[in-house]
């Protein structure tokens, strides 16, 4: 059993990860703003820490005493990062660097980071990608995720902080927000629910990789208990 902190544990993916961790017998703490006023995860046997990811004191308080930290919080989406690249730097990249410094000081054994599967490879025109392919992001969102991956490598080399980056494809499933402007499946479901047309962009030949969120959780859980062989994995 590990003492696990899930940053962003009240989000779509994070809440499912929390339930999976509790089901596997881990001691779980959730760090989130809980801005909606209610919890998304079903598990009741978790510690909840209300805090701001941009506040180093809040983060340090949450990290203390944990073996593994799962970083599943993102303050931006591909669209919001596109409209304001500096926002992605100030709310995601820079605070994550501070998080890693806190993890080193607290003696955390491992950091598991939710990166991105599509945006980080860029428009290379391939139908499939492996971890050996070059990361060539052209969007601020993908650039920010890659920057964090590089900082993870930096802290591994200089401070011995073990980490793994999970390049996740498009997740879908229960608890996904239907009122966002991201994700074909929730947008299509929202349109259908409201009796509105589902718009198709392009000629219909575009390909996207989707993964059911509970299948994704099943892929993530082993990284908590077993030191990964590699520092990077595509999950799709």
Supply the residues annotated as catalytic.
Answer: 141
Distance, CA of 93 to CA of 150 (rounded, Å): 11
Structural tokens at position 88: 């992605």
Distance, CA of 21 to CA of 15 (rounded, Å): 10
| 141 HSE (CA, 13 A, CB side) | 20
User: Which helix (H) or strand (E) element contains residue 234?
Assistant: strand 232-235
Distance, CA of 12 to CA of 176 (rounded, Å): 5
Distance, CA of 103 to CA of 99 (rounded, Å): 6
Distance, CA of 168 to CA of 200 (rounded, Å): 24
Q: Name the E strands within 129-222.
A: 162-168, 170-172, 210-212
């Amino acid at each position: 059993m590990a003492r696990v902190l899930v940053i962003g544990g009240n989000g779509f993916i994070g809440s499912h990860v929390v339930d999976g961790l509790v089901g596997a017998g881990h001691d779980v703490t959730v760090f989130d703003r809980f801005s909606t006023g209610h919890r998304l995860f079903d598990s009741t046997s978790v510690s909840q820490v209300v805090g701001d990811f941009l506040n180093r004191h809040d983060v340090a308080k949450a990290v203390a005493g944990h073996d593994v930290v799962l970083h599943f919080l993102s303050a931006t989406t591909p669209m919001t990062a596109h409209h304001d690249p500096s926002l992605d730097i100030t709310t995601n990249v820079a605070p994550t660097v501070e998080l890693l410094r806190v993890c080193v000081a607290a003696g955390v054994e491992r950091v598991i980071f939710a990166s991105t599967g599509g945006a980080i490879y860029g428009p290379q025109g391939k139908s499939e990608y492996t971890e050996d392919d070059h990361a060539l992001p052209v969007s601020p969102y993908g650039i920010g995720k890659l920057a964090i991956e590089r900082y993870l490598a930096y802290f591994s080399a200089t401070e011995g902080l073990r980490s793994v980056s999970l390049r996740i494809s498009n997740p879908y499933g229960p608890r996904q927000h239907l009122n966002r402007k991201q994700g074909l499946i929730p947008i299509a479901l929202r349109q259908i629910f409201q009796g509105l047309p589902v718009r198709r962009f392009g000629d219909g030949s575009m390909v996207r990789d989707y993964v059911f969120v509970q299948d994704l959780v099943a892929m993530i859980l082993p990284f908590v208990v077993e030191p990964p062989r590699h520092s990077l994995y595509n999950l799709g």
